[in-house]
Structure formats: C-alpha cells, structure tokens
Amino acid sequence: MRRLFSYLKPYRTAAIAAPLLMLLEVAADLIQPKMMAGIVDIGIANRDLAYVYRTGAGMIGIALIGLIGGTGATIFSCTVAANYGKDLRGGLFEKVQSFSFAELDRFKTASLITRLTNDVTQIQHIVMLSLRMLVRAPLLAVGGVMMALSINAGLASVLLISLPLLGVALTLIMSKSFPMFTVVQKRIDKLNGVMRENLTGARVVRAFVRSGYEKDRFGKANEGLSKASLRAVRTVNLTAPAMMAALNISLVAVLWFGGIKVDFGTMSVGEVMAFVNYITQILMALQMVAFLTVNISRAKASSERLAEVLDAESSITGPAAPEGAPGEGKVEFRNVSFCYEGASGDPVLKNVDVTAFPGRTLAILGATGSGKSTLVNLIPRFFDPTEGTVLVDGTDVRDMDLAGLRASVGMVLQDPVLFTGTIRDNIMWGKADATDEEVTEAAKAAQAHDFITSLPEGYDTVVGQKGANLSGGQKQRLAIARALVRKPRVLVLDDSTSAIDMGTEERLQAALKEYMRGRTTIVIAQRISSVMDADEIIVLEDGEVVARGTHHQLVEGSEIYRDIVRSQLGAEVV
C-alpha cells in the first residue's frame, strides 16, 4: 500500500490545496443555517426588512465563497487523481516490462490488463473522492454536531441514539462487502480472459464452427460476474435505507421535541429550523462516509491486486557489477537442466552439453515438446537453468548486463509478432536508429525486400492488427529482418521459416550465411531441409541430446535421425 501512496508525492501541493479549499465550502454550509435562523427569529418576527436584506446579502456572499472553495477543491482533486492514475499505470507497465516469463505466466495476461485498467481506475476514483468527501464529510459531521450543541444541547441528545446505531449498521455492511468486491475483480479477470482468447483466436473459432461454444463460455463468465456484482451491490445498497431510516427518525424526533420546546418558550422557531438543517447535514455527511466506504471497499480489493504486481520481484535480474555484453558470440550450455516452476514430472531439459561457435550454424532438431525452444530461451535469460550454466564468450549469462546480453541476441520466435505501424517501423523495432540502408539490407537478407517493394506503399505500408494483411511467410520474413537489422552476435531462429516455401528458404539460408559471417547462428526446425547444411546438428528427445554431428554423420550413425529423414524425404534418400 505504501508503494501506491508514493505516486501521490509529486502532487502533494495540489493534494493539500484541495482539502484547504474544502474548508471554505464546509464553513459556508455550517454558517448559513444560523443566519437563516436569525432571519426567521429577528427579521421576519420583528418585520425588520433591513435585517432580512442585510443578512440575506451576507448569506449570498458566504455562498459565493463556498462555491469558490468547492470549485477549487474539485479542480485540484480531479487534477491530482488524473495524474496519479497516469503515473500509477506507467509504474505498473514499467514493472510488468521487468517481469520474466515466469511472472508473466503467474499473473496471466488478462489479469494484468484488468489490473492496469479497471483496478487503476478504481484507485484513481477513490483518490478523487477522498480529497473531497474524506475531508468534507468529517468536517461537516463534527461541525454540524458542534453547531447543534450550541443551539440546544438537550435536543442534540437525539444524535446519541441514532448515530451509534447507524455506525454499527454501516460497519457490518462494509465488513461483508469487501470480500465480495475481491471476487468481482477476479470475475472481471476471467471475463477478460475469455474475451481475449475469443478475439485472438477468432479465425479458429469460425473455422471450427465453435461460435456457439464460445457464446456459452462467455455467457458463463458473464453470468459469474453478474452474480458476484449483484451480491456486492445488494449488500452495499443496504446503506441507503439505513441512512434514510436514521435521517427520518432523527427528523421526526427533532421536530417532535423541538415543537414541545417552542411551546414552552425554550427554543425559537428559527432555532428549530437551524437544528433540522444541522441534523440533515450531519446525516448527509454520514451518507457521504457510507458512499466513500463502499468505494474504499472496492478500491481496497483493487489496491491489493496492484500492490501484488508492484511488490512482485522478477526472478530474472541483472547483477550489481555486470561483466559486459558478449563479443564473439560463442554460446555454451554446460550440463544444463531445466524445470518450469511448479511443474511436476521430469525436467524439460536434462544435462545438456552443447556449444555453438561463431561463424558456424548450430541446428536443433526434435519432436514437439523435446525442449528445443526452452533451450534457446535460456540464452537471453527468458528463464535461468535449474542446474548447470549457460555461457556466452566464456561468461555466465547471469553475470552479464541483462540489457546488453539481450541486445546482442537476435531472437525470431515461433509466432511472429508484428506491431501497429508501417513495415519500416516494424523492422526498425529491432534497432530504433537504423538507417534506410540498414533496413533495406536486413530486408534483403531476410528475403523480404521483393515482396515489400511490390506493395503500393512499399516500406511505408501500414501493417494490420497482428499483421492481418500479410501472409504467414511474409510475417516470418519481417520478423527475421527485425532481428537482423540489429546485427546480433547470436541469431536464434526458432522454427521461424515454417511458413516459407522451400525455394525462398534456400535463398534465405544462403543470405544468412553471408550476413552472419563471423557470428553465431542457432536454428530450430522441424524440416530436415532447414538443417541439412548446418555445421552441426543436435537431436533432442525428452530434453536430452541423443545425437549430434553433421547431416551425413547423423544419417550414417543415428537411427533416430534416419527415421526423421525417412519420414520427410523418403527411404530412398537414406
């Protein structure tokens, strides 16, 4: 919680100004009932119009002062809340950017989106309300009690009965509502998750005619949110009848006993009117407190979820004294084993010993789930090995500057992700200050230049959402160009040519040999044709290296490799 409040520090001047201005509004509200009592008891009773005009003018002046104070408090509180929300979202986004894949898997994408949007909005809303109501309500309640006591202490005893009963009722209601709002936020997470999956996989849903199933799934999540919200709102809305009951009972009691006192001459009609006004102000102040408490209950659930993100420590952090970025790009896996956090069963990788040398291409082959992608994800420290060491140029990657290490590794992942913008923007995403020549050179090496220039806008063609206006092969080639433009010391192609035709892939491999001369290339592939020309091929099975060598060596000496070749190229090739 302290972390959340720290984002208010830059705006503390405005945060202090809002309550101070609110004092003017509260003071104006508290003074006016007594002035009105004077108009009734003195001006009207004695037919003193001069007193009525004079006091009325004073009330107008005080009302204007209160208006200025209230308007100023609103402006400052809204300014503080808006800027606080902006900074909090920025801080959360920056924190999420520092997360390793383990933290991203733990929080889930849909939940993080809800936290950065809905939960931040809840906190932002409560900041604005607090700067107004949290100051106004107590001052109005305390001031109203004091003014009521100054008029008639005996009649004020009505409050000694109604206020404690109201306080107990509100406490019970709020204690029940808080856990309900926590459930509501979790239901929003679930609904967002269903929506995100449906929109992301819209083509698959339609291809398999699963719209009905998706509607049912969304309906269940939506129904769950509706029921949770209804339970919370029903509980919270009990505050309104409780407040009205207390107000009506108090007013009836004041008018009853006040009328008796007027008959006995111990109170004037104006004083009874003022007393009724103060009772109303006190109970309205308590209603503000109840409303604020409802929002605090919801914001408390949101604040705990946000604090959970801010307090989460990334499992992947850079060393205090880094040893620098890689130079030659030699990559070594020494006795590496890896198991995902919380996963049961055998490790994903077991005692892997592999070296990728500069100027050479290392190919990794294996069935789905054999650990190929997991192995290369250890190089830029998306994960750290459970056992063993990953070294780049003889230095443990855990001892290297994290940003420098990742800047020296060009990763092209299985699913090419393109961002909103032009083709040029997407290639320059790999190197923000790349020149046009560098962009073109990378695109040519990735065999993307020809199709780019065939487009009406060329490199300035706007990429649709997730590259919707490009084919799978075009997206893969742009992703490769994005990695190449940074001229990485280590290039990792993780099954990134699966959608590229054989002829284009051959030209791509030839271009990469020239482009990556003197640097390390690691290729993961399912197709034998993608790895046949590699300097070394390793075959992974169940996380273990079961064969290694060149294509010809493996054809001669590895039954597993021969089976793969036979299944793809035919028995006559073997």
Residue 341 and residue 305 in one domain: no
Mean pLDDT of 373-382: 92
Q: Is 554 helix (H, G, I), strand (E, B) or coil?
A: helix
Residue 34 and residue 156 in one domain: yes
Q: Give the residue from 359, 317, 396 showing the smallest Cα distance to 103.
A: 317
Q: Which two tokens stand for residue 350?
A: 């077991």
Residue 507 and residue 382 in one domain: yes
* Residue 21 confidence class, pLDDT cut points 50, 70, 90: very high
Q: Which two tokens stand for residue 148?
A: 């009521």
Residue 217 and residue 93 in one domain: yes
Residue 184 and residue 216 in one domain: yes
Q: Among 251, 282, 311, which residue terminates a domain?
A: 311
Query: Is the confidence at residue 450, as pLDDT, over 80?
Result: yes
Of the two residues 443 and 36, the one the predictor is more confident about is 443
Residue 493 and residue 387 in one domain: yes
Within a domain: residue 115?
yes
**83-92, 110-119, 562-571: the lowest-pLDDT one:** 562-571
Mean pLDDT of 44-54: 82
Question: According to the per-residue pLDDT averaged within each range, which of 208-212, 265-269, 270-274, 477-481 is highest?
Answer: 477-481
Residue 112 and residue 30 in one domain: yes
DSSP state letters, 162-216? HHHHHHHHHHHHHHHHHHHHHHHHHHHHHHHHHHHHHHHTHHHHHHTT-HHHHHH
% of the chain surpassing 70 pLDDT: 96
CATH number of the domain to which 266 belongs: 1.20.1560.10
Q: List 412's β-bridge partners, or say none.
A: 493
* Residue 533 confidence class, pLDDT cut points 50, 70, 90: confident
Within a domain: residue 411?
yes
**6-20, 121-135, 168-182: the lowest-pLDDT one:** 168-182
Mean pLDDT of 213-218: 84
Distance CA 524, CA 497 (A): 9
Residue 240 neighbours by CB under 8 Å, 6+ apart: none
**What strands, in cross-sheet order, belong to the sheet with 331-338?**
349-356, 331-338, 387-392, 395-396
Query: Is the confidence at residue 149, as pLDDT, over 90?
Result: no
Of the two residues 36 and 170, the one the predictor is more confident about is 36
Q: What is the pLDDT of residues 483-496, one digit of tens each?
A: 999 999 999 999 88
Q: Which two tokens stand for residue 296?
A: 């605090």
Q: How many domains does the chain have?
A: 2
Q: What pLDDT is recorded for position 396?
A: 92
Q: Are 115 and 202 in contact (CB under 8 A)?
A: no
Within a domain: residue 326?
no
CATH number of the domain to which 563 belongs: 3.40.50.300
Residue 293 neighbours by CB under 8 Å, 6+ apart: 170, 174, 239
Mean pLDDT of 43-55: 82
Q: What is the pLDDT of residues 334-358, one digit of tens each?
A: 999 999 877 777 899 999 999 999 9
Query: Is the confidence at residue 324, as pLDDT, over 80?
Result: no
Q: What is the pLDDT of residues 305-317, one digit of tens each?
A: 898 888 888 888 8
Mean pLDDT of 527-551: 90
Distance CA 466, CA 430 (A): 17
Of the two residues 177 and 9, the one the predictor is more confident about is 9
Within a domain: residue 318?
no
Mean pLDDT (the chain) is: 85
Residue 534 neighbours by CB under 8 Å, 6+ apart: 361, 362, 363, 523, 550, 551
Q: Among 257, 278, 311, which residue terminates a domain?
A: 311
**Distance, CA of 124 to chain centre:** 14
Within a domain: residue 566?
yes
* Residue 439 confidence class, pLDDT cut points 50, 70, 90: very high
Q: What pLDDT is recorded for position 84?
A: 93
Return the number of other C-beta atoms located less than 10 Å from residue 559's C-beta: 10
Residue 301 and residue 204 in one domain: yes
Residue 255 and residue 381 in one domain: no
Residue 264 and residue 218 in one domain: yes
Q: List 363's β-bridge partners, or say none.
A: 523, 537
* Residue 573 confidence class, pLDDT cut points 50, 70, 90: low
Q: How far apart are the first and last CA of the chain?
A: 66
Q: Among 254, 276, 311, which residue terminates a domain?
A: 311
Residue 101, H or E segment: helix 101-107
Q: Is the pTM of this model over 0.85?
A: no
Within a domain: residue 494?
yes
Residue 364 and residue 242 in one domain: no
Residue 282 sits in which domain range?
A: 2-311
Q: What pLDDT is recorded for position 326?
A: 58
Q: What pLDDT is recorded for position 570?
A: 65
Q: What pLDDT is recorded for position 203?
A: 63
Within a domain: residue 319?
no
Distance CA 253, CA 257 (A): 6
Query: Is the confidence at residue 465, as pLDDT, over 90?
Result: no
Residue 233 and residue 137 in one domain: yes
Within a domain: residue 527?
yes
**Nearest-10 crossing angle of helices 472-484, 436-445:** 130
Distance CA 466, CA 475 (A): 9
